[in-house]
Amino acid sequence: MVLVLVDHDHGVLDELSLQAVTYGRELAAATGEQLDALVVGADGSGVAGALGEHGVATVHVAAHDGLTDYAPVAAARAASEVAARTGASVVLAAGTPRGNEVMAHLGAITDLPVAADCVSVAPGSPTQVVRARWGGSLIEEANLHGSPALVTLVPHTVAAEPGGSGAGDLAQFTPELADGDLLVIARPAAAEEKAGVSLADAKVIVSGGRGVGSAEGFAPLEELAELLGGTIGCSRVVTGNGWRPHTEQVGQTGTKVAPDLYIACGISGATQHIAGCRNAKTMIVINTDPEAAIMGYADYAVIGDVSKVLPAIIEEAKKAKAG
Ligand SMILES: Cc1cc2nc3c(=O)[nH]c(=O)nc-3n(C[C@H](O)[C@H](O)[C@H](O)COP(=O)(O)OP(=O)(O)OC[C@H]3O[C@@H](n4cnc5c(N)ncnc54)[C@H](O)[C@@H]3O)c2cc1C
């Protein structure tokens, strides 16, 4: 059985977990096994129907008073319980900070090795994996010993697609938590709650780097993002300077995105930034330096000062919108 750990935000399924479910379905089909999912938290039962449409046969829901918010060790404990009970051969999660963290705890609880950030998994003895290392600049082929194989999948390795004939049956249980499993519970900070499109799912991202100059310099980026129905992204220099929150950082230590359009304003294109946006379908670059590394990834580039180029683009976007 292939078991996918599905993350959700109070009942709203995480898109990257659905990608892991799609990949898990392919693995299960290749090995002739059943695809199950584990959802942690009382709200999890609400997502069973949706997971059934993605080919999940049984949705195991770990319900516990302490599991309403993200509790990584307790989530891993629940995963170890389901994996043992069902005899899972593979346990898979999205390679997000949360997916990787829960999987690391699962590895510690089961004393099994973990292969994080895989782009390909071939179950067997040993399981053969291909992993993206150093933000994707190095591709590693590795053998993973032990059963179940504990793996996480690089975001956007596959697109999330419904399919399969899963019933989405519900198996609710109360996990047996050990002392200390609930010592770490992450609750969302009110300041981080933001309306609008989420960065990971955005189709259009207007992203700013050091070249934007200041927190105030992001005003035209916000205006353009709103005009295009998109959202704001940024580089680590920007979050480091406190111009924008970390939730907007794109890259190796930020969010990995795959929008239709990525507009990079005053960003040099360090490998750690590109690791997060290389899956953009179209990239427009605005930069004063024609030799900037990011030019190598640009579909279109404007060589110029972002504070002058953006107002011109905004004007054209407004005209186009007005018809
Ligand atoms: C372990 C590790 C993890 C990291 N993770 C990340 C990550 O997740 N995300 C990330 O972004 N970085 C990450 N970094 C940092 C990364 O290495 C770079 O330092 C960072 O991405 C650079 O940000 P930047 O492009 O905004 O700034 P810079 O590299 O300083 O580039 C600024 C660019 O703006 C241009 N510019 C200047 N003025 C203007 C103007 N007026 N108009 C137009 N263009 C202008 C310049 O020509 C230049 O190309 C990480 C680094 C390490 C070591």
Residue 251 CA, closest ligand 1 atom number: 8
State whether the beta carbon of 266 lies less than 6 angstroms from ligand 1: yes
For residue 192, the CA-to-ligand 1 centroid distance in Å is 23
For residue 270, the CA-to-ligand 1 centroid distance in Å is 6
Q: How confident is the model at residue 44 (pLDDT cuts 50, 70, 90)?
A: low
Q: How high is the pLDDT of residue 305?
A: 98
State whether the beta carbon of 267 lies less than 6 angstroms from ligand 1: yes
Average pLDDT rounded to a whole number, residues 252-264: 94
Average pLDDT rounded to a whole number, residues 70-92: 97
Percent of the chain with pLDDT over 70: 96
For residue 238, the CA-to-ligand 1 centroid distance in Å is 8
Residue 210 CA, closest ligand 1 atom number: 26
- Model confidence over 112-124: pLDDT tens digits? 999 999 999 999 9
Q: How high is the pLDDT of residue 197?
A: 75
User: 190-322, which class in CATH?
Assistant: alpha beta
Look at ligand 1, atom 18, and give the residue with the nearest C-alpha: 270
Average pLDDT rounded to a whole number, residues 189-210: 79
On the question of a common fold for 2-173 and 190-322, the answer reads yes
Q: How high is the pLDDT of residue 47?
A: 85
State whether the beta carbon of 156 lies less than 6 angstroms from ligand 1: no
For residue 97, the CA-to-ligand 1 centroid distance in Å is 21
Task: Say yes or no to pLDDT of 190 above 60.
Answer: no
State whether the beta carbon of 207 lies less than 6 angstroms from ligand 1: no
Q: How high is the pLDDT of residue 178?
A: 86
Average pLDDT rounded to a whole number, residues 8-37: 94
Q: How confident is the model at residue 194 (pLDDT cuts 50, 70, 90)?
A: low
Q: How high is the pLDDT of residue 195?
A: 59
**Candidate from 1-10, 24-33, 186-195, 198-207 with smallest mean pLDDT:** 186-195
State whether the beta carbon of 270 lies less than 6 angstroms from ligand 1: yes
State whether the beta carbon of 305 lies less than 6 angstroms from ligand 1: yes
**Candidate from 68-82, 125-139, 257-271 with smallest mean pLDDT:** 125-139
State whether the beta carbon of 241 lies less than 6 angstroms from ligand 1: no
Average pLDDT rounded to a whole number, residues 299-307: 97
Task: Say yes or no to pLDDT of 173 above 80.
Answer: yes
Could you tell me the residue ranges of all domains in the chain? 2-173, 190-322
Q: Does domain 2-173 have CATH number 3.40.50.1370?
A: no
Q: What does pLDDT average to over the chain?
A: 93
For residue 208, the CA-to-ligand 1 centroid distance in Å is 9
Q: How high is the pLDDT of residue 43?
A: 66
Task: Say yes or no to pLDDT of 69 above 60.
Answer: yes
- Helix/strand/coil (H/E/C) assignment for every residue in the chain: CEEEEECEECCEECHHHHHHHHHHHHHHHHHCCCEEEEEECHHHHHHHHHHHHCCCCEEEEECCHHHCCECHHHHHHHHHHHHHHHCCCEEEEECCHHHHHHHHHHHHHHCCCEEEEEEEEECCCCEEEEEEEHHHCEEEEEEECCCCEEEEECCCCCCCCCCCCCCCEEEEECCCCCCCCCCCCECCCHHHCCCCCCHHHCCEEEEECHHHCCCHHHHHHHHHHHHCCCEEEECHHHHHCCCCCHHHEECCCCECCCCCEEEEECCCCCHHHHHHHCCCCEEEEEECCCCCHHHHHCCEEEECCHHHHHHHHHHHHHHHHHC
